[in-house]
Amino acid sequence: MGESGEILDIKIADIKSTAPRFHHESVALAHALTKLRHGLAAAGAPWGDDEQGEKFHKLYGPHVKKMEHATQILVDGLASIHDAMVDMADGHIDNEELIRGMFSRVRIGHDDKGDDKGDGK
Does residue 64 form part of some domain? Answer: yes
Radius of gyration of the chain measured on its C-alpha atoms: 28
Print pLDDT tens along the chain (121 aa): 445 555 566 788 888 888 999 999 999 999 999 999 999 889 888 888 899 989 999 998 899 999 999 999 999 999 999 999 888 887 776 666 777 676 776 666 655 555 555 555 5
Number of domains in the chain: 1
DSSP 58-105: HHHHHHHHHHHHHHHHHHHHHHHHHHHHHHHHHHHHHHHHHHHHHHHT
Put simply, whether the predicted model's pTM sits higher than 0.85 gets the answer: no
Does residue 2 form part of some domain? Answer: no
Does residue 5 form part of some domain? Answer: no
Does residue 54 form part of some domain? Answer: yes
Q: What is the CATH number of the domain that holds 46?
A: 1.10.287.1060
Does residue 44 form part of some domain? Answer: yes
Q: pLDDT at position 75, please?
A: 95
Residue ranges making up the domain that contains 95: 12-104
